[in-house]
Structure 1
Amino acid sequence: MGRTITPVRVADVTIGEGAPTIIVPVTGRTPEVLREQVAAVAGRADVVEWRVDFFHAADDHDAVRAQSAALAEQLQGTPLLATCRTSDEGGEIEIDDDAYADLTVALAESGSVHLVDVEYRRDRSAVERIVAAAHARGVAVVASNHDFDGTPPKDEIVARLRQMQDLGADICKIAVMPRSTGDVLTLLDATRTMHEEYAERPLITMSMGGLGVVSRIAGQVFGSAATFGMVGTASAPGQIDADELRSVLEVLHRAG
């Protein structure tokens, strides 16, 4: 049995209860492309992730706030997760810690987003400033870490997730790159251990690439509360079409 997990409720979606939440990213560089992508995603995602690092005006806070408002209006209540993924963790933007914090705080305070992603290994004071600002506005924090170089040992994965939780994250997320099927098992076993022994918040874990697809499908068995699907173009290696993903997740949820 797992520990008692505090679910995260955003709009009409509860992350950490029932079947896994399906999150679908949109990566358009312009408002026009983003509108097309959101129209394609409509009804196929529980949460939409806006990858702000792809946006052509990511360094303009007024433009970012205006775009987040436009997305929220188009989504008509579907929760919006705002993510600025930096180049250090596989994203599209190079940005220093202060600018990263300023941008993420602006998103958290925009009134248009329900969750913000925070790379927990950024400067500690920057992370703490983001968490405090988000929570002051009732915005949930997804603390994240992405390891494209490989899969750390099980104890290290667990330690990173515990550190995220200690920082006050509402959801703790880690994605790692497998070099073998054993690495996929390491990620899944780390998820199980975290879920059963330490977790107080929902977890999102995944092993990336083709080898790791099983973790995106069956992560719920081990304690992962959400998974990322795609509509159109993937934003990370190994993402599965959102409709196919939902079909498989529903089968597994009923069987469980």
Structure 2
Amino acid sequence: MKSTKIRNVILGKGRPKIAVPVTGKTEQKILEEAREIVAKKPDLIEWRIDFFQDVTDFTTLADIAAKIRNIIKDTALLVTFRTYQEGGNLNLPDEEYFKIIRTLIENRLGDAVDIERYHDEKNLAPLLTLSKTKQVIIIMSNHDFYKTPSKHTIVERLQSMEKFGADVAKIAVMPIDKKDVLELLSATQEASESIDIPIITMSMGDLGKVSRICGETFGSSLTFASVTAASAPGQIELTHLRQELYDLEIKDI
């Protein structure tokens, strides 16, 4: 697996890096969360703009992004608009989604931007091209909050993200039983050996918590923790997760 650098963070080498979400709905709450989170020293901060009540006001969005940067300094920033269909907080038509993503990339409002894989490819392709020009890392993602697809399907989706030009491929699934967690972990191991870009995988909810701490063993390069509020079910508090990753570090290879 090749590594990818997001500001000062390298995905794909060593222990999985830790990202923490900012989920504030107002500017004041967003900046308060950013201050509290950066003090805990995560590897990366994810600004979940689908929680922000004025997300379609692009001038305000850019202004807050600049204020976040001033607060977090050199901490890597991932900006994500998670659509309602994939577990996000706001239901917008695809036309608005693409406008938001283009604005994020054109104005480099983050070091990395999340783009969901399963939208109209004719609209996705120009965004990938633009990201290369603007030197913005693209984490391409897919989220299933209802079930865990087969191992073959999970690997196939991650491979399709690489083929589409993503810098990092991400998938999150919901387990119904223990076998689903094993399915996700097995798919992670297979994908990490067949894909040249870093991958991020997780099984959500309490049942899937183990997948958030064993990424180094199976091949997931980033895990998500909580400080102020979780953005997905099963996220572990940052201090605990950091220690668990240290405890599971592979030192004899």
For the criterion TM > 0.5, the same-fold answer is yes
The partner residue of 1:238 within 228, 234, 238 is 234
Distance, in Å, in 2 between the alignment partners of 1:111 and 1:168 is 18
**Counterpart in the other structure of 1:131:** 128
Secondary structure at the counterpart of residue 127 of structure 1? helix
**Aligned position for 1:229:** 225
How big is each residue's C-alpha offset from its partner over 1:54-87, in whole Å with a ceiling of 9 and x where there is no partner?
Answer: 0011111111111111111111010110000010
Which residue of 80, 83, 92 corresponds with 2:77?
80
- TM-score normalised by structure 1 residue count: 0.95
Tell me the secondary structure at the aligned position of residue 48 of structure 1: strand
With the length of structure 2 as denominator, give the TM-score of the two structures: 0.96
Equivalent residue, structure 2, for 1:175: 172
Q: Given the alignment of the two structures, is residue 162 of structure 1 paired with residue 166 of structure 2, yes or no?
A: no
Alpha-carbon distance in structure 2 between the residues aligned to 1:255 and 1:129 = 42
Aligned to 2:65: 68
Quick one: distance in 1 between partners of 2:132 and 2:89?
26
* Deviation of the 1:136 alpha carbon: 1.1
Give distance in 2, aligned partners of 1:242 and 1:22.
Answer: 8
Partner of 1:89: 86
User: Residue 253 of structure 1: SS of its match in structure 2?
Assistant: coil
Q: Number of aligned pairs?
A: 251
CA root-mean-square deviation: 1.1
* Paired amino acid for 1:65: A
1:159-189 Cα offsets, whole Å, 9 max, x none, are 1101111110100000000000100000000
SS in 2 for 1:172: strand
CA shift, 1:96, in A, is 2.1
Which consecutive residues of structure 1, in runs of 5 or more, have no partner in the other structure?
none
Task: Answer yes or no: is the 8 Å Cα contact 2:14–2:216 preserved in 1.
Answer: no
Deviation at 1:240, TM superposition (A): 0.2
| Equivalent residue, structure 2, for 1:49 | 46
Match of 1:250 in 2: 246
Q: 2 CA distance for matches of 1:72 and 1:252?
A: 32
- Distance in 1, matches of 2:109 and 2:246, equals 30
| Aligned residue among 204, 208, 212 for 1:212 | 208
Offset, 1:111? 3.0
The answer on whether the counterparts of 2:170 and 2:199 sit within 8 Å (CA) in structure 1 is yes
Q: 1:195 pairs with 187, 192, 195, which one?
A: 192
Matched residue type, 2:99 = D
- In structure 1, how many angstroms separate the alpha carbons of the residues matched to 2:108 and 2:85? 28
Q: Pick from 136, 142, 146 the counterpart of residue 145 of structure 1.
A: 142
Q: Distance in 1 between matches of 2:37 and 2:250?
A: 25
Taking only the aligned residue pairs, the percentage that are identical comes to: 40
Give, in angstroms, the shift of residue 102 of structure 1. 1.4
